[in-house]
């Protein structure tokens, strides 16, 4: 079973990225043949600063390797190091109905956030389809909000196969139902777009300040509280054991517990959880040649697959 995931280098990775995408992707290393790419082409729809893009790619690579990505089990690569994907994007574009793209909610959502409407932003799902189909993925793990992109990929693969003959494997989405929404410091879903994130590897003092800023309700110290409705508890439970969660929930309901105490406990658990990752990241920062070699080897594996796919597709449409 071949599994593909991708993540944009559009800013510092945060707790929401870790539990929503990174941790599940790392777990998939044990379940099949994994491909994981840093989506720098996709990031260009929102990142226009070259230095920022380069730094973003570097940070994503360091973060994943620090958090346990095994390059022997996962082909880890930059999207832009597999140029076959862009040619495949064109071959898919010529059979992509405009109406299909017009119905994609991601484009509308990004316009609503003030992102400039460009062809790249509009045709984003076709590039994503090329990413998936180039390596003939069986499974694409996504959150429910991204399921539509995989459905578009399936539609395009089927349409191309019907028009030109069997060329692409039709992938299946794997919906991460069990992943809880991680709240940001303002209570909304943690997102770089909302500027409400708690970064994975920010300095300790900065991280603690972020935890202490997490919004809560106005219940007094003495009042019983509802853990299921609390943003701080939602963060605490991500790092706590089952026993720790049950104990903290009981303290919430009993009253006499201040939110500041829970914020401090959540911060300590996060620092404890990420301590070995932080140490590994510091080591990797001193060995960037190794990081580049990992990405180079990952790209070579991905290109082997993409070349075969593209050759088949070019022959199918009459370019060879």
Rounded to whole angstroms, the Cα distance separating 209 from 67 reads: 23
214 and 162 in one domain?
A: no
Contact 102, 152 (CB under 8 A): no
Rounded to whole angstroms, the Cα distance separating 134 from 309 reads: 6
Provide the domain count of the chain. 2
292 and 244 in one domain?
A: no
211 and 108 in one domain?
A: no
Q: Residue 28 has what pLDDT?
A: 85
296 and 239 in one domain?
A: no
CATH of the domain at 230: 1.10.240.10
CA 211 to each of CA 181, 230, 265: distance values in angstroms, whole numbers, following the listed order: 17, 13, 10
Is residue 171 domain-resident?
A: yes
Q: Residue 180 has what pLDDT?
A: 66
Half-sphere exposure of 113 (CA within 13 A, CB side): 15
Q: Residue 179 has what pLDDT?
A: 59
Within 8 A by CB and 6+ apart from 141, the residues are 3, 5, 24, 25, 28, 173, 174, 176
CATH of the domain at 95: 3.40.50.620
Rounded to whole angstroms, the Cα distance separating 76 from 64 reads: 9
Is residue 263 domain-resident?
A: yes
253 and 112 in one domain?
A: no
12 and 64 in one domain?
A: yes
Q: Residue 146 has what pLDDT?
A: 76
151 and 48 in one domain?
A: yes
Q: Residue 175 has what pLDDT?
A: 74
Residue 35: strand pairing partners: 4, 75
174 and 131 in one domain?
A: yes
pLDDT in tens, the chain (320 residues): 999 999 999 889 999 999 988 998 898 888 889 999 999 999 999 899 999 999 999 999 999 999 999 999 999 999 999 999 999 999 999 999 999 999 988 888 888 878 888 999 999 999 999 999 999 999 998 877 778 889 999 999 999 999 999 999 999 988 765 556 799 999 999 988 889 999 999 999 999 999 999 999 999 999 999 999 999 999 999 999 999 999 999 999 999 999 999 999 999 999 999 999 999 999 999 999 999 999 999 999 999 999 999 999 999 999 99
139 and 174 in one domain?
A: yes
Is residue 186 domain-resident?
A: no
> Which stretch of DSSP H or E encloses residue 2?
strand 2-7
102 and 152 in one domain?
A: yes
Is residue 202 domain-resident?
A: yes
Is residue 187 domain-resident?
A: no
Q: Residue 219 has what pLDDT?
A: 95
307 and 160 in one domain?
A: yes
DSSP 221-274: SSS---GGG-HHHHHHHHHS-HHHHHHHHHHHHHS---HHHHHHHHHHHHHHHH
Q: Residue 178 has what pLDDT?
A: 53
Is residue 312 domain-resident?
A: yes
Q: Residue 174 has what pLDDT?
A: 82
State the catalytic residues. 110, 189, 192
CA 229 to each of CA 215, 218, 235, 275: distance values in angstroms, whole numbers, following the listed order: 12, 12, 12, 29
Q: Which domain holds residue 24?
A: 2-181+288-317
Contact 50, 56 (CB under 8 A): no
Is residue 63 domain-resident?
A: yes
Contact 205, 231 (CB under 8 A): no
Query: Which among 48, 75, 58, 69 has a CA at the least distance from the CA of 9?
Result: 58
Q: Treating both helix axes as pointing N-terminal to C-terminal, what angle do 259-285 and 50-66 enclose, rounded to 10 degrees?
A: 100
94 C-beta neighbours (distance < 10 Å), count: 9
Contact 42, 118 (CB under 8 A): no
76 and 47 in one domain?
A: yes
Half-sphere exposure of 139 (CA within 13 A, CB side): 15
14 C-beta neighbours (distance < 10 Å), count: 23
DSSP structural state of residue 68: T
Rounded to whole angstroms, the Cα distance separating 304 from 306 reads: 6
């Amino acid at each position: 079973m071949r599994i593909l995931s991708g993540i944009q280098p559009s800013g510092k990775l945060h707790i929401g990225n870790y539990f929503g995408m990174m941790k599940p992707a790392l777990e998939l290393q044990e379940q099949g043949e994994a491909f994981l790419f840093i989506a720098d082409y996709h990031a260009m729809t929102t990142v226009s600063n070259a230095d920022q893009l380069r730094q973003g790619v570097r940070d994503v690579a360091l973060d994943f390797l620090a958090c346990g990505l095994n390059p022997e089990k996962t082909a880890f690569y930059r999207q832009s190091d597999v140029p076959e994907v862009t040619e495949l994007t064109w071959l898919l574009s010529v059979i992509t109905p405009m109406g299909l793209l017009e119905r994609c909610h991601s484009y509308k959502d990004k316009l609503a956030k003030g992102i400039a409407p460009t062809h790249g932003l509009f045709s984003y799902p076709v590039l994503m389809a090329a990413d998936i189909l180039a390596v003939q993925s069986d499974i694409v793990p996504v959150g429910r909000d991204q399921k539509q992109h995989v459905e578009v990929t399936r539609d395009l693969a089927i349409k191309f196969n019907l028009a030109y003959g069997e060329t692409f494997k039709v992938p299946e989405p794997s919906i991460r139902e069990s992943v809880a929404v991680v709240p940001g410091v303002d209570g909304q879903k943690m997102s770089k777009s909302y500027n409400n994130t708690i970064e994975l590897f920010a300095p300790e003092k900065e991280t603690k300040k972020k935890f202490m800023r997490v919004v809560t309700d106005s219940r007094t110290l003495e009042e019983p509280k509802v853990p299921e409705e609390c943003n701080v508890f939602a963060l605490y439970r991500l790092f706590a054991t089952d026993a720790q969660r049950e104990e903290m929930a009981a303290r919430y309901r009993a009253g006499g517990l201040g939110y500041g105490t829970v914020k401090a406990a959540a911060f300590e658990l996060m620092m404890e959880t990420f301590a070995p990752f932080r140490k590994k990241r510091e080591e990797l920062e001193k060995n960037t040649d190794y990081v580049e070699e990992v990405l180079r080897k990952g790209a070579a594996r991905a290109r082997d697959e993409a070349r075969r796919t593209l050759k088949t597709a070019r022959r199918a449409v009459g370019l060879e």
